[in-house]
A and B are shown apart, each in its own frame.
Chain A
Amino acid sequence: MKSLSKLTLALLGATALVTPALAQDDKIVVGFATAESGFMQAYDKPAQDAAMIRIAEINAAGGLLGKQIEVVNADTKTDRAEGAKAGLSVIDAGADMVVVSCDYDFGAPAALAAEGAGLPSFFLCAESIKAGIQGVGPNSFSASVLAAVQGATMAEWSYNKKEARTFYRLLDTWTEYNKGICDGFDWMLPRLEGASLVGEDTFKNEDASIAAQITRIKSLEKEPDAIMLCTMMPGAVSAIKQIRAAGINSMILNGSGVDGSYWLSAVPDLSNFYVPVQGSIYGDDPNADVTAFNAKYKEATGGDPSSQYVYPGYVMIDVWAKAVERAGTTETAAVVAELEKMTAEPTLFGPRSFSAELHHQNSADYRIVNIEAGKPAVIDSWTISEPIPVADLMK
């Protein structure tokens, strides 16, 4: 038995010799502690591919501070404990900045590891206010836009452009993201004069039937002008299908989570359906550079972007690299200070701002995608009239 334990120790000893490379001064290292396996991989991989495109562009243009950007990876396996290890791995490998998983829950352990080591961290596309100062610490950022902004954008846009006055709020209580969309909607609604909430309901993403909720919508005196649907995949498809099958034709307002055309065949001829996106994957973005990026993405990965969640990865490297350039160093305090100075910093996917109290976007220039007869197309752009105050976001 003892020989067995000796063997174990020998095995551990041998593997421990594989020590990671140390940071060097002639390069800048970006560490990706993201999911390369497990279900988060479907979210992390596309955004990471976009980040790699920006890194390749910077390197081709001579690098950052005259140094080439190198990338180190560690797989979180869509597991929190592995996430912490992945974070520590890339830190040991000399990362100057740590990129963590798209989702707050799965990215937090690695981001906390970075925070503990005094390094800046970026969530690839988390949309909860916790992904930043509030849930990690003063050196943590998110590359995407708060979910609340999506709900607020849809409410204000439909009020102004579609004359929506009566709203129905349908919340899927499964995730923070869903709640965030409805929170933003709730914040905006009282600011719209004459708009009223005629009813609200909740369901769960896994619910096979939302017949009870639909019955309540049907029993309203008049069909609401708009239904604010705060949900995400995979449950969203079933909910949308049931709403339309019941003959409810109100416009449906959504968060960005339902962007993408991969699910549209499940609800044939879907119409009067609106989604806010940071950029269009359908080749019709008003900004030609976005379409050019889509082509570049296809060239690099062999496929078109599947949803707008590709874009934050690109934005992330873009704003971080600018901050490093301005600070003249990768030193954390200096880079964070430069990031916090950004106000409406132009990026390929709209302006981005960070401040000492919020490392996330509480306002954004959204494209409005309309799905009509099953065909998605950008029909408008909208930026909410005032950013959502941090105090309201923390509620």
Chain B
Amino acid sequence: MAIPSVARRTISTPIILALILVALALLAVASGSRPFNQTIIDVFLRVILVVGLYIFIGNSGVISFGHAGFTCLGGYAAAWLTMPPMMKETLLPGLPAWLMALQLPFWAGAIFAALWAAIWAALFGKILMRLSGIAASIATFAMLAMINTIYSNWESVTAATSSVVGIPIIRTIWPYMIAAILAVFIAWAHAISRAGLALRAARDEPTAAAASGIDAPRERLIAFVISGAVMGMGGALFAHSIGVVTPDTFYLTLTFTTLSMLVVGGMGSLSGAVLGVVILSSLIQGLRWLEAGITVGTTTFAIPNGLQEITLGVVMILILVRRPSGIMANSELSWPRARPEKPGE
């Protein structure tokens, strides 16, 4: 049986990544600081989103600028499903009656949000996945612009550009940690699956893959739908992390932050996706603390405001100069004795 052995050979990667995430969660709990806890929740959210991006971009080689759109779909779906009906009546009067009356717990909302995003990923993907290369990238961007425009203007259902509030806020770290670990395992399972392997083959050798009977658009669509679902789940949890959603949260800034974390970590590697987030987020947080000022003895040491963004840019350039294909390039974390290898290869 080939498949169990592939799973056994590569299972160490998601386990190590999950352990890193658990360690972060424990660190947050041990610190006892609410803002630090929230920072780690943010890290987990970004892990979910960047891993979601990796599922599609890493395996297909097609850069997508549109995945923030699925996060938007997920975030608003969570709002529709989990807000108290009374708040919905005033803020979102255009919702259908059954949805208006519905109030699900946050985890159920997140599951449906993921499904909702997946449905739209399937609809869009059916058309877009016939394209490849830069044409596909631009088409995904057009999809993001469409989603953003609809959500910014559909007053009665999305409250247009106004903030949607009343989404239950979840401040405990565990649901976010579990979701991030779930995303890592979904990405791993997809990567070692037949579809994931076929997609990577089509990425590296399109002609040979086609000659071997691989239907590249179909394999791309599968990855697109799975990554759309993960992004939708991330969007839903994002909504629960601050309790507010607006369309501009899920637009260009989010697109480029998540993409740059994936590129710095290593586009073709699941470990890269997770480590890119963890390393860049730690750097951002460290610099923010320095900006706020750290007291050593009687003197307070602080760096000028804005230096955080500059330093972050410089560090990202340095990493990419030293390692053009990202920190992890195409390799994965695995147990020391095992040969470093990519899941499924």
Contacts and interface: CB of A to CB of B under 8 A. Distances in A.
A88 B282 contact: no
A108 interface: yes
Contact of A89 (B24, B35, B161, B305): B35
Interface stretch (A6-14, A269-277, A296-304, A335-343): A6-14
A81 B241 contact: yes
B165 A136 contact: yes
Interface string A1-21: 110110011011101101110
Interface in A200-252: none
A75 interface: yes
B292 interface: yes
Contacts of B169: 112-113, 116
**A interface majority secondary structure:** helix
B286 A19 contact: no
A34 B243 CA distance: 18
B306 interface: yes
Given A19-B33, A89-B35, A112-B169, A1 B333 contact: yes
B35 A85 contact: yes
Contact of A12 (B285, B291, B294): B285
A60 interface: no
**B interface majority secondary structure:** helix
Interface residues of B, number: 47
Given A4-B279, A136-B165, A15 B289 contact: yes
A335 to B, nearest CB: 22
Contacts of A74: 35, 292
B33 to A, nearest CB: 6
Contacts of B215: none
B162 A176 contact: yes
A54 interface: no
A1 B34 CA distance: 30
Interface in B161-198: 161-163, 165, 169, 171
B282 A12 contact: yes
A186 interface: no
Contacts of A104: 163
Contact of B294 (A18, A20, A75, A176): A18
B36 interface: yes
A37 B246 contact: no
A279 B321 CA distance: 56
A108 B244 contact: yes
A19 B34 contact: no
A84 B42 CA distance: 11
A81 B242 contact: yes
B299 interface: no
Contacts of A16: 27, 30-31, 33, 36
Nearest to A17: B31
A146 B165 CA distance: 19
B231 interface: no
Interface in B92-119: none
A5 B27 contact: no
B242 A112 contact: yes
Contacts of B37: 88
B23 interface: yes
Contact of A109 (B20, B244, B271, B279): B244
A36 interface: yes
Interface string B277-296: 01100100110010110100
B35 A92 contact: yes
Interface in A343-371: none
A109 B35 contact: no
Contact of A84 (B32, B33, B90, B241): B241
Q: Which of B38, B169, B271 has the most CB of A within 10 A?
A: B38
B328 A1 contact: yes
A5 B289 contact: no
A84 B31 CA distance: 18
Contacts of A176: 162
Contact of B282 (A11, A105, A116): A11
B39 interface: yes
Given A19-B33, A130-B163, 15 more contacts: A2-B333, A13-B27, A16-B27, A19-B31, A20-B33, A37-B306, A84-B243, A85-B35, A88-B37, A91-B34, A105-B246, A109-B244, A112-B165, A112-B243, A113-B169
Give 7 nearest A-B pairs by CB, closest first: A88-B34, A89-B35, A16-B31, A84-B242, A88-B35, A109-B242, A112-B243
Interface of B: 20, 23-24, 27, 30-39, 42, 90, 161-163, 165, 169, 171, 238, 241-244, 246, 249, 271, 275, 278-279, 282, 285-286, 289, 291-292, 294, 305-306, 327-328, 331, 333, 336
25 contacts: A1-B275, A4-B279, A5-B333, A11-B282, A16-B27, A16-B36, A18-B289, A19-B31, A19-B33, A20-B33, A75-B305, A81-B238, A84-B241, A88-B37, A88-B38, A89-B35, A104-B163, A108-B163, A108-B165, A112-B242, A112-B243, A113-B169, A130-B162, A134-B90, A175-B161
